[in-house]
Structures are given as structure tokens and as C-alpha cells.
Amino acid sequence: MDKKTKLLKAEIEKDILEAASMIKNGQIVAIPTETVYGLAADARNSDAVEKIFTIKNRPSNHPLIVHIGSFEKVSEWAQDVPPIAAVIAHHFWPGPLTLLLKKHDSVNEVITGGLKTVALRVPDNTAVLKMLHLLDTGLAAPSANPHKRISPTTAQHVLSGLSGKIDAILDDGPCGIGVESTIVDLTQNNIRILRHGPITKQMLEAVLNISIDLPAKHKEHVPGNMKCHYQPYTKSSLMTLPAIEAHLYDSNNQEKLFGIIHYSDLSSVYKNAKSLQLSKNKSGYSQFIYHALHEMDSINADHILIETPPHTDEWQDILDRLSKACAINNE
Ligand code: TXA
Ligand code: MG
């Protein structure tokens, strides 16, 4: 049976304390981060962590990220930590970067999906850092969306997917970045990006002065790295803007309704389309892309058409998410 989801506000001190105490009692609280909202449980409480998988309908072998309060806490969750971890953390934490390390023996495999590695991140959100400080534990938190669906960047998105299934949400307004963290694997000889994100290959290489491998190069299957993910309920396609406009002009498509997400200017107004124009600037685009997908999914369109983003290093995370959003679901 559904429960009442408590609405808490990140700008109210006592609400932060209440969110922390609910986590301490084994409850599940959606938390804000700078990337997307997360669905958090005490990472030392495996019964609570198991609830996350049930609520999201997530397969148990899809590992979760553990959010910690500072780099000093890494040694409580990971072992054999290479020196480069401190360099990366120094430059990018708190921030949208997750480090994959060999897990500490004390970390329950419920979190890691049975793997011997653990993903760690210090999120850049004042309220959550305060909760982490109060609790002195880690917060296991995947994005706060039902499995395979669009990640939430507002409290409203979280509630539309999970209201009645979670104990509370700590609302801190829209997420500033809007796309999930970059995941960097430090468990192999070569440093690899496992998931593209706001911290790009070039940004890492500039700081570390070494070359980084990209996801396409790693062959093994990482659970949770699926072809179909971040999906609207409405059929969605990536197209160039000229192809989108040709589609809207097509006489066979005049009785349909299209949702258009674009950043270049449309050359006309179309009566068979509702359009949402995002920024040409990557960070402006990134902040609102999931919001645009949520919006377009709510208008009961026949088809969402998304202008293909630029194929540059900076836009790799957006390309990755949109390709998965538009992949045919045959898994
Ligand atoms: O920005 C983010 O990373 C957000 C916020 C809430 O922090 N979190 C997030 O979590 O995107 P989630 O569960 O939606 O995606 C985490 C991904 C998993 O799908 C999995 O691919 C990878 O992290 N991951 C976690 N632990 C791993 C491990 N031990 N080995 C390989 N991949 C792992
Ligand atoms: Mg996710």
C-alpha cells in the first residue's frame, strides 16, 4: 500500500535534521544533488538499501553509488586507493564525478550488486553535505526515478515517478547541472571513463596530464550500463533539425502531434508540434534536457523529435543519454 511522502525543504534547518533522522531510522529519502535527485538510504543498513531496489524496480545486480561527505571518508569505503584518487578528488570534489575503487571489506555487496568494486562521490549540495556530516555514514543513492525512466531534476519529477513509495523528499529546487556524474574507473592499469558526464575526458586529461580511456573501449558488461535508459514513455527519436522540419511538413504527419526539443531556431511555426527550445550553450542545455523530456512526455504527443546535439567531447554525456532515451526497447 502507498505511504504518505513527506515534503521537506532544504532551506529549513529542522527539515534537514528530520531527513537525516529518517535515514538513520532506515527510511528512504529523495535527496537533491547538483546532478540529479537521488533516492537515498543509509549505506551501512542493508535492509534499507534493499528497499531502494524494490522501490525503483531495479535489478539487484545494478550497483549503487555511495555518497560521502569528504575525500577523508574514502578509506572507510574503499581499499588499495591509488594516489591519483586524491588528485582527482582535490580538483573535482565536491562535484559531478564518481570514482570506482576496490571496495572495503566492510561494504555490503547489496550496494555493489555483488561486485568487489564500489562507486564513491562527494556531491556538491550544502544540505546533503550537512546530512552526511550529521549522520557520519554514506548515503547509497541511485537517481530517484523508476528503473529505465528519465532522471529527475526537480522534486516534482521525483514525486511524479515515486510519490507514495518513498518516505520523504528534501526539495532544494531544480538541480544546477541536470545530468548524472561522470564515472571514472581507477581499478585497472588504465584510467577509464565508464559513464560520460559533466567532467569530460579533456577536463580530466588537462588536470592529470595522462590519457584517459573512453567507454567504447571497455568490453566487459557493467550492470546498469544499458542500451535503453532515461526513456520517456512516448516514442522518441534523435534527428537533425532539417530532418525534423521535413517530418513536420510531411502530408502523412498532419494529424499527429509531435513534441520537438531543439536548440537551433525552427524556420517556421508548426500546428502539429509543440516545441521547446533549449540553450546552445552546453551547461544551459544540460540543466534543462531532462526537464524537457519530462515536459514533452506529459503532452500526449505521438512522437518526440530531438535535435541531435553536437558531436564534440563536451557534449558526450548528452549524446549518451539521448541515444539511450531513443534506443528501441528490445532488452
Ligand atoms: O550524478 C549521479 O551519479 C547520480 C546522483 C544521484 O549522484 N546518481 C546516479 O546513480 O546516476 P545511478 O544508480 O542512476 O547510476 C549509477 C551507475 C550505475 O548504473 C552503474 O552503472 C554505476 O553507476 N556503478 C555503480 N557502482 C558500480 C560498480 N561497482 N561498478 C561499475 N559500475 C558501477
Ligand atoms: Mg539512474
For residue 259, the CA-to-ligand 2 centroid distance in Å is 24
Mark the residues whose beta carbon lies below 5 A from ion ligand 2.
Answer: 143
Q: All 3 cell numbers of residue 209?
A: 596530464
Reported pTM: 0.95
Pocket test for ligand 1, best of 64, 102, 151, 162 (most atoms within 8 A of CB): 64
Contacts of 60 (CB under 8 A, 6+ apart): 53, 110, 113
CB 169 within 8 A of CB 159: yes
DSSP conformation letters of 51-99 = HHHHHHT--TTS--EEE-SSGGGHHHHEES--THHHHHHHHH-SSSEEE
Q: pLDDT truncated to tens, each residue of the chain (331 aa)?
A: 688 999 999 999 999 999 999 999 999 999 999 999 999 999 999 999 999 999 999 999 999 999 999 999 999 999 999 999 999 999 999 999 999 999 999 999 999 999 999 999 999 999 999 999 999 999 999 999 999 899 999 999 999 999 999 999 999 999 999 999 999 999 998 999 999 999 999 999 999 999 898 876 555 556 557 777 888 999 999 999 999 999 999 999 999 999 999 999 999 999 999 999 999 999 999 999 999 999 999 999 999 999 999 999 999 999 999 999 998 754 4
Strands 168-171 and 117-121, by their bridges, are unpaired
Contacts of 127 (CB under 8 A, 6+ apart): 10, 11, 16, 19, 31, 32, 170, 172
HSE-up of 169 (CA within 13 Å, CB side)? 29
For residue 264, the CA-to-ligand 1 centroid distance in Å is 32
Exposed, middle or buried: residue 215 (CB in 10 Å: 0-12, 13-18, 19+)? middle
Ligand nearest to the CA of 62: 1
Q: How far is CA 187 from CA 143, 204, 217, in A?
A: 23, 16, 15
For residue 241, the CA-to-ligand 1 centroid distance in Å is 32
